[in-house]
């Protein structure tokens, strides 16, 4: 079953698109840059999720597509528990949606990032709106569609911090460098606490985790993000890329209340 972006988020994103100022500068990409972007378009993959000794207790969808406004793109990652697991987890659902702008060099820059978590009839939304011109990010927290917290956080220095999904697509587009064993990248990121860092390492065979889960033909990447992104204790994510550089398998470690969650591409 393919997961859908909720109606409230669709309306929210459409309003966001209308509010984003038009740009007179159309990205001018190299032939290689265009090929990278076209390869990412319509990225739409389904996953079965499992935790503890259980398999296929949840479903997820990972999607990347053009926005209705030129130069803007939308990535979404959605997951929900199903069957008995849905009852045990109070029908837990999580959804992450990022709007990003394609830059002239072929990289992506965050425009807005929303995380939505539903559990037991309670809906919590966190919204980050990036204003690089004024060097600030607006953070908003909603509970059941009621605004609880709003604040502007200064972007210090001259970096361009991004959200986790924008960082992922910059990575697979080659914006940081090659995806190969030994590669190490540190990417400025943002949370409600301010500027942070996403750490990315491509692991050699001797450091491969969970050899019974990640086969030897997969390229293994370890990513460390802020713990609040996926409600984890250590912020660690392991991704196994196949020959097409698609995330074929992944593990998010120590999700609070669930433990390690495994994902397998269908």
- pLDDT per residue as tens digits for the range 129-184: 999 999 999 999 999 999 999 999 888 888 888 899 999 988 888 888 888 999 99
pLDDT digits (tens, 9 = 90+) for 51-93: 766 677 788 899 898 888 888 999 999 988 887 777 777 778 8
Band (11; pLDDT cuts 50, 70, 90)? very low
- Identify the domain containing residue 46 by its residue range: 31-265
Q: How many domains does the chain have?
A: 1
pLDDT at residue number 34 = 60
pLDDT digits (tens, 9 = 90+) for 170-226: 888 888 888 899 999 999 887 777 778 899 999 998 888 888 899 999 999 999 988
Q: Vertex 141, ends 10 and 61: CA angle to 5°? A: 40
Assess if residue 196 is contained within a domain. yes
Q: Which of 118, 157, 121, 122 is closest to 136 using CA atoms?
A: 157
**Residues 77, 96 contacting (CB under 8 angstroms):** yes
Assess if residue 7 is contained within a domain. no
pLDDT surpassing 60 at residue 30: no
pLDDT surpassing 80 at residue 5: no
Assess if residue 207 is contained within a domain. yes
Assess if residue 40 is contained within a domain. yes
Whole-angstrom distance between the N-terminal and C-terminal Cα of the chain?
Answer: 11
Assess if residue 15 is contained within a domain. no
pLDDT at residue number 126 = 94
Assess if residue 160 is contained within a domain. yes
Assess if residue 154 is contained within a domain. yes
**CA distance linking residue 199 with residue 2, whole number of Å:** 30
**CA distance linking residue 93 with residue 61, whole number of Å:** 12
Assess if residue 97 is contained within a domain. yes
Q: Which residue has the tokens 């190490």?
A: 184
pLDDT at residue number 75 = 93
Phi, psi of 114 (to 5 degrees): -125, 130
**CA distance linking residue 232 with residue 255, whole number of Å:** 4
Residue range 3-29: average pLDDT?
39
Band (7; pLDDT cuts 50, 70, 90)? very low
**CA distance linking residue 136 with residue 236, whole number of Å:** 27
């Amino acid at each position: 079953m393919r997961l859908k972006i909720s109606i409230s988020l669709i309306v929210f994103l459409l309003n966001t698109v209308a509010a984003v100022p038009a740009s007179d500068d159309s990205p001018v990409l190299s032939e290689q840059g265009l090929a990278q972007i076209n390869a990412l378009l319509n990225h739409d993959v389904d996953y079965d999720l499992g935790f503890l000794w259980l398999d296929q207790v949840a479903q997820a969808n990972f999607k990347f597509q053009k926005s209705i406004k030129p130069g803007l793109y939308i990535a979404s990652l959605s997951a929900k528990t199903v069957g008995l697991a849905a009852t045990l987890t109070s029908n837990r659902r999580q959804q992450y949606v990022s709007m990003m702008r394609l830059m002239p060099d072929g990289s992506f820059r965050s425009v807005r990032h929303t995380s939505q978590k539903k559990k037991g009839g309670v809906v919590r939304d966190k919204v980050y709106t990036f204003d690089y011109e004024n060097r600030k990010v607006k953070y908003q927290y909603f509970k059941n569609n009621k605004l609880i917290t709003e604040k502007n956080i200064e972007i210090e220095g001259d970096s361009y911090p991004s959200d986790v999904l924008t960082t992922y697509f910059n990575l697979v587009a080659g914006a940081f460098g090659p995806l190969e064993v030994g590669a190490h990248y540190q990417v400025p990121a943002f949370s409600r606490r301010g500027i942070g860092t996403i750490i990315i390492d491509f692991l050699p065979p001797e450091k491969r985790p969970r050899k019974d889960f990640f086969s030897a033909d997969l390229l293994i990447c370890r990513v460390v993000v802020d713990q609040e992104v996926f409600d984890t204790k250590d912020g660690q994510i392991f991704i196994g890329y196949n020959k097409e550089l698609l995330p074929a398998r992944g593990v998010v470690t120590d999700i609070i209340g669930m433990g390690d969650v495994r994902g397998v591409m269908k």
